[in-house]
Chains A and B, each alone.
Chain A
C-alpha cells in the first residue's frame, strides 16, 4: 500500500523551527535526534483510521532534529502537536511567511472589507469570480462574499473614503476563502 503525502506544519520559536502534526492520528517512524531535515525529507508516518500518511518536510525548512519529543511508535497526536524541534543549519533559510506583497505603502486605492470573516471570490463553487483584475467596477457592484458565523453576505463596492465611483480592479489582494479582518484591503484599484 503506497502512502499518501502530508506536509508538516511549520512554526518558528526563537531560532528554532517547530514542525507540527497536520492531522490527528498515530505517529510512527520519527526521525532521530541529530537527523538533518530539509524540504521534502521524509519525517515519519501518521496513521489515521488505518490509513498511512507519509509526513514530509515543507519547502523552506532546513535543520537538525534537536532532541526526541515523542515516543517513536504509534504515539497519539493531534493537529498542531509538535513533532520536531529543529536547530537551524548554517546558511539555511527558514520558512518565509506569506506577506501582503507590500500593498498599502504607496498611494494605492484600496477597497476594504466591511467586516471580519472569510472572503470568497465567487457566489458558488464553479461560478466565475465576482471581481477580477481588469474589471471595471461601479458603486453597488458585488465584488465577493464575506462569510461571518456561517452567514454569507455579498460585498458591494462602495466608493467611500476618496475612492472613485468607477474604478478598474488592479488586483484582488485576498485569496479565495482567506480570513480577513474588518477593514482589510480586498481590492487594489485604479481610477478609470
Chain B
C-alpha cells in the first residue's frame, strides 16, 4: 500500500479520503487555498501545502502546483476526490508523467468517459441507448441553435467537463438558448476550467438512476447496485437513495450489467458511476459516466456493506478486487440528504457565515445514522466554494425505516448561524410522494414549486 498520499481537494471529501487513508495506514497530506489554510478540518492531515489564493482557479485547479506539492511531499499517490481536477484527463496524465499514482481511471479512459460528448459516442457505438442531441461539442451559439432546431425544443445545454449541474441550462426556445449559451459557458469555464458545451434533447421529468461500479487493473468489475437521485433542483441532487423505489429486480440486474460492460469496454479502473435517465415510459437511456467517486457514494457503502475509498486505494495500488458480483450483497435501504448552506425559502440563496450550532443526533432509530462532514460548531462556511456542509445518511432494513430514522435525526438536528436546506429535507422526507416513491426530477416532493 502507499505510504503517503496527497489529497487534491478540500472540505468534506478531503476529510472522507483522509479517514480511509488512516484506516489503511497511509499518511494523508492535504492542500489548501489561502483562505482554507488553517481551517480546522485540515487537522486530519499529516501535512498541508498552501496552493494559492482563495479562488479555486488560482489554487485547487492549478494542476502543476498540485502535482509539485505531491512530489515535494514525497507522496506516491494522489486522490482527486470529486469536483475540481477529479475528471480532468490532462491532470491524470500529468500525475502519470511525474510518477505519481492517480487514484482513478487511466487518463485514456477519462478522456473517453470524462468528457461527455466522446462518452456518448462510445456508448452509441456500443449499442447503449443514448439521448438524441449534438454529436460532439458546440463551437458557436449558431451551431447550438441549428442543432436545437433539428432535435426540437426543449433542449438542455451541458458543460462538456461538467458535473453537479454547473454550466447546465434548460432552453425552451432559441432566444433562451442564445442567452443561456454565454452564461453556461462562463459558469463552466469558472467551475471546470473549460467552457465547452454540448446539447441534447431535454426529456421532461423522468428519474435519475445511477449505477456504482468498481473495477481493478486486471479486467474485473462489479457493480454495487443503483442510487436514485431524482430529488433535484436545477440538476443539483438534494436527496439520494438506494435501492431505487422504482426498479424491479430484473431491471436492476439489467442496468447493472450494462454499467459493468460499459466500464469494461473502455478499460475502466477504480470507482465510477454510470448515470441513466429512466423516462416516464420506462425506457432507460445512458446519460453520462462520472469517472470518480461521487458525493453520494456513502449510500452505496451502507447498502453494500463496503468501503468504496478503501477499494479505490486497493485497486490503485495494483490490488485485485477480492469481490465477484455474487459477493456483493445489497441489504436494506439507505437515504442521504445534502445539508447545503443555502436558504431554500429564498430561492436557495447561498448563505455563508459562522456556525453557531452544528449538531446531528446519531442515536435515533430504528436504523443507523452516518454523518459525513468537515465542519464543526464555530467554523466559518466559506463563500468561495461549494455550499455542502454535511451529508446525513440513514440505513435501515426497510425504506420506511430509513425515512423514519432520518426524520428523527433531522428533527433534532441543530444548525445555526447559516440558513440550510434542513427544512426542505424535513418536508421532502415527510411528503406522501416521497414516502410512496412516486417522485421524479420535475418537482421536489413536498416542497412548493414556487420555491424552485
Write the residues of chain A forming the contact surface with B, with a CB cutoff of 8 angstroms. Answer: 23-26, 48-49, 51, 76, 78-81, 115-118, 123-125, 127, 147-152, 179
Contact = CB atoms under 8 A, between A and B. Distances in A.
Contacts of B190: 147, 150, 152
Contact of B186 (A81, A117, A124, A179): A124
Contacts of A26: 68, 72
11 contacts: A23-B65, A24-B72, A25-B65, A25-B68, A76-B72, A79-B50, A117-B383, A150-B166, A150-B191, A150-B385, A179-B54
A149 B73 contact: no
B50 A148 contact: no
Given A25-B65, A76-B73, 10 more contacts: A24-B52, A24-B65, A24-B69, A79-B59, A118-B55, A124-B183, A125-B189, A149-B384, A150-B166, A152-B190
A116 B54 CA distance: 14
A92 B357 CA distance: 49
Contacts of A23: 52, 65
Contacts of A127: 182
Contacts of A124: 182-183, 185-186
The 8 tightest CB contacts between A and B, nearest first, are: A76-B72, A124-B182, A78-B50, A24-B65, A149-B350, A124-B186, A78-B49, A148-B350
B59 A123 contact: no
Contacts of B166: 150
B284 interface: no
A24 B68 contact: yes
Contacts of A123: 182-183, 186
Contacts of A24: 49-52, 65-66, 68-69, 72
Contacts of A117: 383
B387 interface: yes
Contacts of B53: 79
A79 B52 contact: yes
B182 A78 contact: no
A116 B52 contact: no
B416 interface: no
B78 interface: no
Given A24-B51, A116-B352, A79 B34 contact: yes
A152 B53 CA distance: 20
B187 interface: yes
Contacts of A49: 64, 67-68, 71, 94, 98
Contacts of A152: 183, 186-187, 190
Given A49-B98, A79-B59, A81-B50, A25 B72 contact: yes
Contacts of B191: 150
A166 B86 CA distance: 47
A179 B352 CA distance: 14
Contacts of B50: 24, 78-81
A48 B183 contact: no
Contacts, number: 84
A149 B68 contact: no
B37 A80 contact: yes
Contacts of A51: 64
Contacts of B94: 49
Interface size for chain B: under 10, 10 to 19, 20 to 34, or 35 or more residues? 35 or more
Contacts of B182: 123-124, 127
A147 B166 CA distance: 13
Nearest to A25: B68
Interface string B18-44: 000000000000000010010000000
A156 B373 CA distance: 36
B428 to A, nearest CB: 21
Given A76-B72, A125-B189, A150 B51 contact: no
A44 to B, nearest CB: 16
A124 B350 CA distance: 22
Interface string B331-344: 00000000001100
A152 B234 CA distance: 13
Interface in B54-113: 54-55, 59, 64-69, 71-73, 94, 98
Most buried by B among A48, A78, A81: A78
B165 to A, nearest CB: 10
Nearest to A23: B65
Most buried by B among A76, A79, A115, A179: A79
Nearest to B236: A151
A127 B94 CA distance: 33
Contacts of A148: 350, 352, 383
B170 to A, nearest CB: 16
B173 interface: no
A23 to B, nearest CB: 6
Contacts of B34: 79-80
B70 to A, nearest CB: 10
Contacts of A78: 49-51, 69
A128 B33 CA distance: 31
Contact of B383 (A48, A79, A80, A116): A116
A32 to B, nearest CB: 23
Interface in B347-402: 349-350, 352, 383-387
Contacts of A147: 190
A51 to B, nearest CB: 8
A78 B65 CA distance: 9
A126 to B, nearest CB: 9
A149 B385 contact: yes
Nearest to B64: A49
Given A123-B183, A148-B350, A150-B386, A48 B37 contact: no
A166 B187 CA distance: 31
Most buried by B among A123, A124, A125: A124
Nearest to B387: A149
A73 to B, nearest CB: 13
